[in-house]
Homo-oligomer: A and B are copies of this chain.
Amino acid sequence: MSKLTISDIAARAGVSKATVSRVLNDRAEGVGPETRAHVRAILAETGFQPSAMARGLATGHSRSVGLIIPDVINPFHPLLVSGAEQALSAVGYSLFLCNTGSNGAKQGDYIRVLVDKRVDGVILDSVGFEAEAQVRLLEREGIPVVLLDCVIGDRASRYGVVLDNDHGVREAMEFLFRRPDRRLLYIGGPSDMSQSVDRRNSVERIAREWRLAGDQLTVLPGDFGLECGFRLVTELIGKQSGRPFPFNGVFAANDMMALGVLKALRRAGVSVPGEVEVLGYDDIEFARLIDPPLSTVAQPALEMGAASAELLLRLINNDKPRRKTVVMKPRLILRGTTLAPDDVGQTHIQE
């Protein structure tokens, strides 16, 4: 409980604070082997822990970073957090977790807090339109920022880690349209999240490229919530009381909505994947836990979190990479809610 300071150690060792400091920081030169050993012994014996605040004040950096996310409870985010945390803790950085609850004002507050904590950098997974101004505050303070899974403003102007949504969507679409008789329902996400806008744009671009006919693709807006997927599909099926349905495949912009879709189809007694194939996006943990396990476009979330931390660490060390954006590739994972790629007649479970 004895709030030991470096002076106490210096006194006990019979040397100056400067020397203790040198030992503490493993400075190669500036201290003789004897003294070093002696000081080390005292350090160990007292269990002395230097104050990070005092050190931070003196050096100008805190060895801590802020991680801003919309919602830890959303099953996708903990993966990002965990990935970043591992990369950061491995090199001795601490993490301020800033959970905004998707609230722009709270996000602003947190950014202000991070500024006054003098964090060395910020990883920002943000939603909302006010983000640009908030990021500029950090930039004005000279605090490096890495955008995670989001783009703010001009995408070439800031460092960031994003998913190649176009790639993911394209793989999904190629898979789904392997069947010439495909009639697809695409359910998009909120229009204020760059990811969902990206995905939807890709879907529509591909539809134009392939000159899909009107009955081959229906695009509906969603909100990333399970209920939404459930409701949309229930309504569509309700209208069309008999078979066949207006669609034989559903591609949801995230897994939660896909889960809602599955629930609706099950309630209606529609067989999956026999009558309708379902594909999600994200690969949250639950995707493979349900029965049948959900086919989906997997985001390498842990890796994205880790990549954002690594990128930030480089920025902190002033080792700026030539390309500002790290693009991660999503991966199509076929499980139980889709038919085999070639054989359009039986369930195919990969993995």
Chain A interface residues toward B at CB < 8 A:
1, 3, 47, 49-54, 56-57, 62, 64, 67, 71-73, 75, 77-79, 81-82, 85-86, 89, 92, 94-99, 101, 106, 109-110, 112-113, 115-118, 137, 140-142, 226, 259, 262-263, 266, 285-286, 289-291
Contact = CB atoms under 8 A, between A and B. Distances in A.
Contacts of A78: 72-73, 77-78
A81 B72 contact: yes
Given A51-B118, A53-B118, A116-B50, A85 B73 contact: no
A115 B95 CA distance: 15
Contacts of A98: 89
A88 to B, nearest CB: 10
Contacts of A72: 72, 78, 81-82, 85
Contacts of A112: 49
B97 A141 contact: no
Given A52-B117, A94-B96, 16 more contacts: A3-B142, A51-B116, A53-B56, A53-B118, A64-B96, A64-B117, A73-B79, A81-B97, A82-B99, A89-B98, A89-B109, A96-B96, A96-B97, A97-B97, A259-B289, A290-B290
Contact of A49 (B71, B115, B266): B115
A53 B117 contact: yes
B57 A85 contact: no
A226 B97 contact: no
Contacts of A141: 1, 3, 49
A60 to B, nearest CB: 9
* Shortest 3 CB-CB contacts between residues of A and residues of B: A97-B97, A72-B78, A49-B116
A75 to B, nearest CB: 6
Contacts of A47: 137
Contacts of A140: 1
B285 A73 contact: yes
A48 to B, nearest CB: 10
A226 B285 CA distance: 12
A237 to B, nearest CB: 16
Nearest to A113: B94
A168 to B, nearest CB: 22
A266 B292 CA distance: 11
Contact of A75 (B3, B75, B291): B75
A271 B96 CA distance: 47
Contacts of A77: 78
A49 B51 CA distance: 22
Interface centre among A82, A92, A97 (most CB of B within 10 A): A97
Contact of A97 (B51, B95, B259): B95
A261 to B, nearest CB: 12
A85 B82 CA distance: 17
Given A97-B81, A99-B85, A285 B75 contact: yes
A101 B110 CA distance: 26
Given A1-B140, A99-B81, A62 B53 contact: yes
A106 B88 CA distance: 13
A82 B96 CA distance: 13
A118 B226 contact: no
Given A116-B49, A118-B52, A140-B1, A73 B64 contact: no
13 contacts: A52-B118, A53-B57, A64-B96, A75-B75, A81-B99, A85-B99, A86-B99, A89-B98, A94-B96, A95-B97, A97-B97, A259-B289, A266-B291
